[in-house]
Amino acid sequence: MKKQHILLVEDDQFIQTLYRDLLKDAGYEVVAVDDGRKAFDQIKKDQWSLILLDVMIPSITGFEIIAKIKKEKVKVKTPIVFLTNLDSNEEDKKKLKLAKDYWIKSDMNPKQFLEKVANILR
């Protein structure tokens, strides 16, 4: 069976390392980037099983990446999940619905994180 290929976009190095290591230890292939432009380049050049996208990242935000995907008609058949700690206002809550799902980082322990990933990839 082919390994699941996950793009992790997270600018907090501690969280990025934690999630990357959890995913790799669970058998996933992971590419981690910490910047919106790098993320968009990766989205355009590769096919992913899942994209985990932090909302507040340098250069362009996760929301802007979704808008750019639509504007440039980039073909993405991959589920995109926002990772956030935003205490969202109404506008942000609407934007979060642009992705397949969104997860509040502070609400998940490592086991729950891996369970959520596995559920999306089923």
State the chain's mean pLDDT as an integer: 87
pLDDT at residue number 29: 97
Q: Which residue has the tokens 């899942």?
A: 50
* Ranges of each domain in the chain: 5-121
Closest CA to 80 of 3, 2, 8: 8
| Cα of 7 vs its chain's centroid, Å | 7
Fold assignment, 5-121: Rossmann fold (3.40.50)
Q: Which tokens sit at 35?
A: 């910047």
Q: What number of helices (H) and strands (E) belong to the chain?
A: 5, 5
pLDDT digits (tens, 9 = 90+) for 10-36: 999 999 999 999 999 999 999 999 999
